């Protein structure tokens, strides 16, 4: 028994040392990106990797700046705090530019357009955003959907940790609608024949990269990099890879 | 931003403190109902388990109780909550607070069962024999002599379970329940303050843990009066 325990302990120690060794390697400077990898096609987990539009764009920017990209997956509502406190250098998570957020972090130039849409079951009577009054609406905590849902008269807002949990609740008739970004909504819709997207877009907005207020040098570099990538068509290429034109 | 501005932004502006108040209400409600449910379930399970151990009766019930305790104690609370919400109540629509009562109550029941069982087992077997020799049945002996002493012995452990449960309810946000932690999360998601809402929520939890603790201590002291 004692021997088993010591073997296990030694193994743990060895694994810990290996982990240290691997994280210590790599001489170039790291660009830590905070994201919430439950937001396809912008970011999602595939195997051990985080893939998607944001991840690919970040990789190009990191390469351009001669940095090594490290992606940290966390709760969406922790992302801005992570950038503010220096736990991450950039926030890239389908992050919409809003006035409130601008007071806490700086945003780069926008890199793509987005929209909030309403996802309901095919049997739902909801036709336009106005029909949401008085219904129970699922959102992901801290997202723009959460902010906009607060303005709907008489609506009950159910704040889930992840979009797919809100979608699950919708499928089980626990809530009446989910407000979610258009592209993820399309992914959810394609996976569940019981769901449909309301044609009227709830809002139109732009995604940008969040950087800490004091880190203006990085912000300038990112903007320069984004400009180059946009001009060379690389950004459109990445977006086209994940979002099929209709 | 100064501390004062920070406090204003996080709690006063747009009545944000209300998220904490309503969250606290839900947290306390879930805790209290789950504690009561946990004690009922726990008693039942402990009674089955000890009766089996002492008399050899109730083999099937005992097996069920053992499996229940193993499964509940062997899986994380947050998974149990998600399973109750998304799997067990998949097609039935019950208010989320009821889901929370059931998930936390059933979870607590497994822990309380072991606590009470330990209490019953701590009572000298001679007391069962004394009861029997005075003409009391097994059930009567259990109810009149064993359980009152057992509960007194395990009261600190039960109080501890209640404190653990209060803090455990902080995962209720996973089913979009507005508990105290989620209340702080909502404020955080609106103000992007990294820690003020969290510190406030932590302070509120601590405050209530201390109240619970002092209540249990008081109860213990009162019960001690009968020790002579």
pLDDT tens digit at each of 246 positions of chain A: 667 667 666 666 666 655 554 444 445 689 999 999 989 899 999 888 999 999 999 999 999 999 999 999 998 888 988 998 889 999 999 999 988 888 889 999 999 999 999 999 999 999 998 999 999 999 999 888 998 898 899 999 999 988 989 999 999 999 999 999 999 999 999 989 999 999 888 888 999 999 999 999 999 999 999 999 999 999 999 999 998 765
CB–CB of A165 and B176 under 8 A?
yes
Checking if the pLDDT of B72 tops 60, the result is yes
Cα dihedral sign for A148, A153, A158, A159?
Answer: positive
Q: Which residues pair with A38 in a beta bridge?
A: A44
Q: What is the pTM of this model?
A: 0.79
Return residue ranges of chain A for CATH 3.40.190.10. Answer: 28-111+208-242, 114-205
Predicted pLDDT at A245: 64
Q: Which chain A positions have a beta carbon within 8 Å of B193's beta carbon?
A: 81
Q: Which chain A positions have a beta carbon within 8 Å of B91's beta carbon?
A: 172
Distance from CA of A40 to the nearest CA of B (A): 20
Predicted pLDDT at A208: 96
Checking if the pLDDT of B214 tops 80, the result is yes
Residues of chain A numbered 28-67 and touching chain B (CB < 8 Å): none
A17 versus B147: the higher-pLDDT residue is B147
Mean of pLDDT over chain B: 91
Identify the band that residue B158 occupies on the pLDDT scale cut at 50, 70 and 90.
very high
Q: Does domain A28-111+208-242 have CATH number 3.40.190.10?
A: yes
Rounded average pLDDT over B14-36: 93
> How confident is the model over B96-107, as pLDDT tens digits?
999 999 999 999
**Helix ranges, chain A (H):** 2-24, 53-64, 79-84, 99-102, 144-149, 163-171, 182-191, 216-231, 234-242
Predicted pLDDT at A142: 87
Checking if the pLDDT of B154 tops 70, the result is yes
Distance from CA of B192 to the nearest CA of A (A): 6
The CATH number of the structural domain formed by A114-205 is: 3.40.190.10
Q: Which of A77, A101, A160 sits opposite B188 (nearest CB)?
A: A77
Which of B6, B11, B34, B43 minimizes the C-alpha distance to B163?
B34
The interface predicted TM-score (ipTM) is 0.73
Predicted pLDDT at A23: 45
Predicted pLDDT at A24: 42
Q: Which chain B positions have a beta carbon within 8 Å of A178's beta carbon?
A: none
For chain B, give the percent of residues with pLDDT over 90: 65
**Helix ranges, A138-181 (H):** 144-149, 163-171
Domain count, chain B: 1
Rounded average pLDDT over B184-203: 86
CB–CB of B182 and A169 under 8 A?
no
Distance from CA of B3 to the nearest CA of A (A): 16
Residue B91 φ/ψ, nearest 5 degrees? -100, -10
């Amino acid at each position: 028994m004692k021997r088993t325990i010591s073997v296990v302990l030694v193994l743990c120690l060895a694994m810990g040392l290996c982990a240290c060794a691997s994280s210590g390697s790599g001489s170039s400077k790291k660009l830590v990106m905070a994201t919430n990898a439950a937001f396809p096609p912008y970011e999602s987990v595939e195997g051990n990797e985080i893939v998607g539009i944001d991840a690919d764009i970040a990789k190009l920017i990191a390469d351009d700046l001669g940095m090594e990209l490290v992606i940290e997956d966390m709760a969406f509502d922790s992302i801005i705090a992570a950038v503010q406190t220096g736990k991450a250098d950039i926030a890239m998570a389908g992050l919409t530019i809003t006035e409130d957020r601008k007071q806490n972090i700086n945003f780069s130039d926008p890199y793509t357009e987005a929209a909030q849409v309403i996802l309901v079951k095919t049997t739902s009577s909801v036709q336009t955003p106005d029909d949401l009054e008085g219904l129970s609406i699922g959102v992901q905590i801290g997202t723009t959907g959460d902010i906009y849902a607060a303005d709907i008269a008489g609506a009950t807002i159910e704040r889930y940790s992840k979009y797919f949990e809100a979608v699950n609740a919708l499928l089980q008739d626990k809530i009446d609608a989910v407000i979610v970004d258009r592209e993820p909504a399309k992914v959810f819709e394609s996976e569940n024949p019981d769901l449909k997207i309301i044609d009227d877009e709830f809002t139109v907005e732009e995604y940008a990269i969040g950087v800490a207020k004091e880190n203006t040098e990085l912000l300038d570099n990112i903007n320069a990099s984004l400009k180059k990538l946009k001009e060379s068509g690389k950004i459109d290429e990445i977006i086209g890879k994940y979002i099929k034109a209709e | 931003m100064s501390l004062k501005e920070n406090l204003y932004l996080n709690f006063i502006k747009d009545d944000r403190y209300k998220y904490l108040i309503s969250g606290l209400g839900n947290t306390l409600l879930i805790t209290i109902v789950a504690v009561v449910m946990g004690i009922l379930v726990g008693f039942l399970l402990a009674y089955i388990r000890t009766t089996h151990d002492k008399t050899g009766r109730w083999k099937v019930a005992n097996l069920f109780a053992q499996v229940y305790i193993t499964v509940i104690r062997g899986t994380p609370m947050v998974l149990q909550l998600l399973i109750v919400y998304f799997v067990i109540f998949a097609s039935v629509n019950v208010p989320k607070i009821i889901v929370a009562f059931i998930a936390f109550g059933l979870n607590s029941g497994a822990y309380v069962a072991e606590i009470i069982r330990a209490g019953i087992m701590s009572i000298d077997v001679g007391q069962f024999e004394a009861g029997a020799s005075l003409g009391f049945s097994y059930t009567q002996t259990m109810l009149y002599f064993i359980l009152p002493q057992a509960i007194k012995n395990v009261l600190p452990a039960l109080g501890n379970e209640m404190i653990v449960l209060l803090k455990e309810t902080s995962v209720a946000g996973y089913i979009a329940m507005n508990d105290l932690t989620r209340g702080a999360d909502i404020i955080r998601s609106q103000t992007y303050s990294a820690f003020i809402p969290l510190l406030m929520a932590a302070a509120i939890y601590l405050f209530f843990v201390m109240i619970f603790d002092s209540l249990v201590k008081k109860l213990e002291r009162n019960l001690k009066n009968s020790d002579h």
